[in-house]
Amino acid sequence: MPHDAPSIDTLAHLSDHHGDFAAFRDLMLQTSAGRFGPIFWGVFDQYVRPRLPDAPRLLDVGCGPGGLFEPMRAHVPGSAIVGLEVQPAMLEAARERAAALGDVEIFEADLAAPLPLADASIDGAVASMVLHEMPYPVQLLRELGRVLKPGAPLLVFDWVRQPLAEYAGEDEMTPGLLQHFREHCLYTPEDLAYLCQLCGLQVLETVGRRGNRHAMLACVNGERL
């Protein structure tokens, strides 16, 4: 399948997970300052920044509405950013942000298919809150190993497993809540590390976030299991 032709299955799967696309886009924009706050940049500065060349080409995998673009540009001046996304409402918002910022390329791409990027063409990548949305993230991780330069850093940031009672908190128990629990809480941090390493991404450090509801994994491209 050509990489620029998103499969119906991917959009149907995302629609099932997100519900209303526009409302989810707005939620991602409202919450991005919290995701990309001091802890995110602390891990980024320790593990990603020192491995970047001057004027790096950085990849934002599943960029959503582009909430990472501006803080990334402020944090890594001179960087060129590539965003990959498939959902129409997200793409529209990401393109608006890219146009306002400049030097941001957006590709409409299904991450379940080969990425529309050349081998070893990326200096560093972030995958924020995207792996849990993929039925089979292994192919994406392998593709990241292909498009990242040898030794280039990847920061994975995602939901990780927690007890149902903690996940639900005060929320009403519903079929929708259980579905999100299955999707958000499938992997432990060790599972994510295992998947990364299986695909040739060496994990340097794992950091818990939000009381260990989320984890950040700092990886470098190299060393397949």
Ligand X SMILES: C[S@@+](CC[C@H](N)C(=O)[O-])C[C@H]1O[C@@H](n2cnc3c(N)ncnc32)[C@H](O)[C@@H]1O
Query: Is residue 154 near ligand X by the rule CB under 6 A?
Result: no
Question: Measured between alpha carbons, how far is 136 from 94 in angstroms, rounded to an integer?
Answer: 24
Question: Measured between alpha carbons, how far is 225 from 223 in angstroms, rounded to an integer?
Answer: 6
Among 56, 67, 153, 200, binds ligand X (CB under 6 A): 67
Question: Measured between alpha carbons, how far is 1 from 90 in angstroms, rounded to an integer?
Answer: 22
Among 111, 160, 185, 215, binds ligand X (CB under 6 A): 111
How far does Cα 126 stand from its chain's mean position? Answer: 6
Q: Residues 6 or more apart from 200 whose CB is under 8 A from it?
A: 142, 145, 221, 222, 223, 224
Query: Is residue 63 near ligand X by the rule CB under 6 A?
Result: yes
Q: Which residue stretch of 129-137, 144-152, 168-176, 192-200 sits at the interface with ligand X (rule: CB under 6 A)?
A: 129-137
Q: Which residue stretch of 27-35, 117-125, 181-189, 206-214 sits at the interface with ligand X (rule: CB under 6 A)?
A: 27-35
Query: Is residue 79 near ligand X by the rule CB under 6 A?
Result: no
Query: Is residue 124 near ligand X by the rule CB under 6 A?
Result: no
Query: Is residue 87 near ligand X by the rule CB under 6 A?
Result: yes
Map tokens 């919450």 to a residue.
31
Among 82, 98, 115, 130, binds ligand X (CB under 6 A): 130
